[in-house]
Amino acid sequence: MWTTWVRERAVRTLPPEKLLPDRQPSYVSSWIYVFGVVTIAAFVVIVLSGTILGLKGPEWWHVTGIGHFFNSIHLWSVEIFFFAMVVHLWGKFFMAAWRGGRSRTWVTGAVTFLVSIGAAFTGYLSQQNFDSQWIASEGKDGLNSVGIGSFFNVADFGQMYTWHVILLPVAVAVLVIAHVLLVRRTGVVPPYPARGSTGRQGEGAS
Amino acid sequence: MALLVTPLVLGAVFDLNQPANYLHWHFFQMSVSNFIVILLMIAVFIAAILIPFPKRQREP
C-alpha cells in the first residue's frame, strides 16, 4: 500500500531520534541560536491574535477597548516576528548556514521571509482605515507598473483579506514546518572551525 | 496603578499623534522609527554573539 511506502520513507528520512532530539551539540549554547524559535513563538501569537480579530471584525478592533488591545497584540507580535527573523537571518548568513548539505534549509528560510513580507503588506491593506486606503492607493501604482495589478488588486479588500487571513498564513506555516523538519534532518549548522583546526566545514550536525 | 500610568507616560514620551519624522540621504529616505529599529536589531545581534549563554546545572 502507498501508506506503507510513505511511512517507511518518512521514518528513513527523519527517524524519531532526529525528529525529536533530546540533546543538541555544545555550540548551540549561544544566544544567536535562539532567534529562530523566537520567530516561531511570535508567529503563533500572530495567528492566535489574528484569529480573534478575524472572528470579531473591523468594527470591534477599531472601536472597543479590548479590540484595540488585540489589534496591538497582533501588531507587536508582527514587529517581534520580523525583528527576530532578521537577527536570525543575519546570524545564519554570517555562519554560512547553507554549508553541509543545508541549502534547502537556507532557501526555505529565505522564501519564508519573502512570503512573510507579502503577509504583512496584505495585513496593512486589511486594517479598514485611512492608513490602509493610502497604502492601497500607493501600492496599486507600483503593482500595475510591473504588470500584476490585474490579478493582485490591492484596492480589492475582499481579495487582500483572503490573501492575508488564509493563503499567506498557510504558506508561511507550511514553509516554517518544512524549514524546521530540514533543520531536524541535517542538524543545526555549526560555527566555522577555529583557525588551524583540521575539522571540515559543515560537520558537527547532531 | 502602574498599569494605568505606564501607557500615559509612554504616550507622553512617544507622541504618535503627529506625522512621522524622516531622515534624508540624497534620494534615499527612511523614517526615524525604522532607523531606530534597525539600530536595535544590530545591537541585539551583537549582544547575542557577545553575551555568554547561561550554562545548565549538571544533574547529580
Alpha carbons A46 and A31: distance in angstroms, whole number? 23
Comparing CB atoms, the residue among A30, A35, A90 nearest residue B53 is A30
Answer yes or no: is pLDDT of B15 > 90.
no
A70 and A119 share one domain: no
Q: Do B44 and A90 touch (CB under 8 A)?
A: no
Nearest by CB to A83, from B41, B49, B53: name it: B41
| Chain B interface mutation, best of A23, A31, A76, A86, highest count of B Cβ atoms under 10 Å | A31
d(CA A123, CA A75): 10
A11, pLDDT greater than 70 = yes
Q: What is the separation, in whole angstroms, between the first and last Cα of chain B?
A: 45
Q: How far is residue A76's CA from residue A168's CA, in Å, rounded to a whole number?
A: 19
Is there a domain that residue A26 lies in?
no
| Identity of the residue in A34, A79, A90 whose CB atom sits nearest the CB atom of B45 | A90
Grade residue A127 by pLDDT with cuts at 50, 70 and 90. very high
How many CB pairs below 8 A link A and B?
Answer: 29
Same domain, A109 and A159: yes
How would you class B46 by CB atoms within 10 Å of its CB: exposed for 0-12, middle for 13-18, buried for 19 or more? exposed
Helix, coil or strand: residue A77:
helix
Q: Is residue A6 part of a domain?
A: no
DSSP characters over A136-178: HHHHHHHHHHTT-TTTS-TT-HHHHHHIIIIIHHHHHHHHHHH
Domain boundary residue among A23, A43, A78?
A78
Average pLDDT, chain B: 85
Q: Could you report the predicted ipTM of this complex, rounded to two decimals?
A: 0.85
pLDDT score at A205? 45
Q: Which residues of B touch A34 (CB under 8 A)?
A: 48
Distance of alpha carbon A194 from alpha carbon A199, whole angstroms: 8
Q: Is A169 found in the same domain as A102?
A: yes
| Angstroms from A6 CA to nearest CA on chain B | 39
| Cell numbers standing for residue A47 | 495567528
Residue B41: CB atoms within 10 A of its CB come to 16
In which domain, by residue range, is A176 found?
95-191
Regarding whether A139 and A73 lie in a shared domain, the answer is no
User: Do A131 and A187 fall into the same domain?
Assistant: yes
Task: Measure the N-to-C terminal CA separation of chain A; round to a whole number of Å.
Answer: 33
pLDDT digits (tens, 9 = 90+) for A58-77: 999 999 999 999 999 999 99
Q: In 10 A of CB A6, how many CB atoms?
A: 10
CATH of the domain at A104: 1.20.810.10
Number of other residues whose CB lies within 10 A of the CB of residue A35: 22
- A130 with A51, same domain: the answer is no
